Amino acid sequence: MNEFSVLFVCMGNICRSPTAHGVFARRVSEQGLATRVRVESAGTHGYHVGRPPDERAQEHAARRGYDLSGLRARQIHNRDFERHDLILVMDGDNLTRLQALCPPQQLHKLRRLTEFCVEQSAEVVPDPYYGGASGFEQVLDLVEDACAGLLRHVQEQLV
């Protein structure tokens, strides 16, 4: 049986990447793929290791039916480049940082999450941390759109 692993990465692993983690994990589960698709998230920096997602991220996600409360922030590790089939970053800074850390033979795994958007056109998932409620809603809009395209991509890989 084929398996596939996706890692979502933002800076602190408390807003964008856990939101993507929660949204994608639910979609994977709804498709009956939870035993075949592993979903994780991490941050490029260790500012919040061990902490739950930002309360605002949790609140906005919960309004759309996503439970992020069980997630805990962690920093990316060298072994992540080997363990995951796809490492999806939220913005150019995350991509640049990971490109510097990633072994050359694993660089093909690094992509922007927004490449998978099917309805919206965006280069990045903007960081909502220092903004208001609309930022968290925008993150959810982009993440939900991208996760729809990502799910199709992963399903193709599992065939």
Catalytic residue numbers, as ranges: 10, 16, 127
Q: CB atoms < 10 A from the CB of 81, how many?
A: 19
DSSP-based three-state secondary structure for 111:
strand
Give the C-alpha separation, 58 to 62, whole Å.
Answer: 6
**Where do the H-state alpha helices sit in the chain?**
16-30, 55-63, 78-83, 92-101, 133-158
Helix 133-158 with 16-30: angle, nearest 10 deg: 40
